[in-house]
Amino acid sequence: MRIMSASPSIARKKKKSGSKIGFLYLLPALIAYGYVVIVPTFQSLWFSFFKWNGITEAQWVGLNNYIGFLSNPLIKQAFSHTLVLILFYSVLPISLGLLSAALISKTQIRFSGFFRSVIFLPQILTSVVIAVIWRQIFSTDGILNDALRAVGLESLTQPWLGSFTFTLPVLGLAGSWTTMGLCMLLFISGTANISTELYDAAKLDGAGAIREFFSVTLPGLRPQLAVAMTLTLIAALRVFDLVWLTTRGGPGTSSITPSVLLYSKAFTQSDVGAGAAIGVLLAILALVVALVIVRVMDDKD
């Protein structure tokens, strides 16, 4: 009896001093995090209320930077480009991923580790390497044009990365290449977790392949879908490296993205306030995307 009453108090004492040390354990990470992430986030907000060239004194302009965006054609263009990129970074790879997942569940092909490794590879490569690869493919004497010429479609050859019409879609395709593997893997491994009983039940109900997909596969992949959507949408929102290393936003402004605009405003045009404002917008959008997806996914339950 005595022993039992003694140990809770000892345990409590241990917990108390544990928490003091615990705080120490927490501190380094908190300091680094605070300094690098939290403080700059608030600073971004703060900067966005000024007009500043990075050197001399800043001028308070309140919400002017944001209001200016409403009438600025470049901002509109940049975000409209993001919509196009969403098609390539998100919609296309996710559809392909779902398709491959459906095929897998039907045909029950076992995927070798090799296949998995290879389709995931683009996620491992750095943006510089990806830019080099695709710049080569789409250059005027690159593989794509060469292939077109070889099959007699010379008239279809284009200066892909210098054309007002094609630059953005072409960069989008490169983006699809990077996210495609991730989506496919997500969904394929996700289908492995869908219990076969559900499929059997559907078969008994006389469901065809398509019904089966929509009533069993798709709902079963809901968590994966949420993740894929979040990751790819935010990736599309943030595109910088690929554009910067191939066209810098050109020709003209036909391939600018919000991040490219942010960089150019803050660092080349010395309009730090506007750059920070774009940063704030991006953060808000990212948050909204995540919240909406979570909400929608939860609702379906």
Partner 1 sequence: MVIVPLLLLLGAAFSPVQSGRIDLGDLNYSNFVNVWKEAEFGRHLLVSLRLCTLVVAITLVITTLAAYAIAILNVPGSKWIFTIILAGLMIPLESILVPLYFTLRAMPFGGGATTLLIAHVGLNVSFGVFWMRAAFLAIPKSLIESASIDGASPFKTFRMIVLPLTKPALITLGLLTFLWTWNDYFLAVILITDPDQLPVTLAIGEFATKYSNKYNLMSAAAVLVALPVVTLYIFFQRKFIQGVLTGALKG
Partner 2 sequence: MEQSKRKTSGVIAIFVAFSLALTGCSPGSSDSGSDTSTVVTDPAEMGDVTLTVLDSFTDNASPIGLWMLDIVAGFEAKYPNIKIKRESVQDITTNLKLKLADEKNTPDVVPANQGWAGVGDLSSNGLLLNLDAYDKAYGWSEKLPTTILQQSMASTDGKNIGQGSLFGVPINQGAFVTVFYNRAMLTKLGLSVPKTFAEFEAAMAKAKSAGQIPMQLGTQDGWPASATLLALQAALDNSNDIIDAVFATSNVKLADTKLEAAVTAYKKWADSGYFTKDFVGVPSGTAVQDFVDGKGLFVIWYSGYLPFKDQAQGDKFGQFLLPRADGGALTGVGASLQQFSVAAKSDAKDAAALFLNYMASQEAGEFAIKYKAPPLFGKFEASSDSPLLNDGVVTLNLITSSNGYLPYFDWATPTMLDVMTQQLQSLFGGKVSPKDVVAAMQKDYDTFRESKK
Beta strands in 128-268 (DSSP E): none
Residue type, 14: K
Compute how many residues bind partner 1; rule: CB under 8 A: 89
How does 160-172 read in b/e, with b if 16+ C-beta sit within 10 Å? bbeeeebbbebbb
How does 20-33 read in b/e, with b if 16+ C-beta sit within 10 Å? eeeeeeeeeeeeee
**Rounded Cα–Cα distance for residues 254 and 159 (Å):** 14
23 touching partner 1, by CB under 8 A? yes
Binding-site member from 63, 99, 109, 129 for partner 1 (CB under 8 A): 129
Residue type, 272: V
User: Which stretch, 111-119, 148-156, 160-168, 194-202, contacts partner 1 (CB under 8 A)?
Assistant: 111-119
193 touching partner 1, by CB under 8 A? no
Site for partner 1 in 31-70 (CB under 8 A): 32-33, 35-41, 43-44, 46-47, 54
Half-sphere exposure of residue 58, counting CA atoms within 13 Å on the CB side? 16
Binding-site member from 85, 92, 104, 185 for partner 1 (CB under 8 A): 185
Question: Is the four-CA dihedral 132, 133, 137, 138 of positive or negative sign?
Answer: negative
240 touching partner 2, by CB under 8 A? no
68 touching partner 2, by CB under 8 A? no
Site for partner 2 in 243-262 (CB under 8 A): 247-248, 250-254
80 touching partner 2, by CB under 8 A? no
163 touching partner 2, by CB under 8 A? yes
Binding-site member from 98, 237, 243, 256 for partner 1 (CB under 8 A): 237
Kindly tell me which of 64 and 127 has the beta carbon lying closer to partner 1.
Answer: 127
Q: How far is CA 51 from the centre of its chain?
A: 30
Kindly tell me which of 45 and 207 has the beta carbon lying closer to partner 2.
Answer: 45
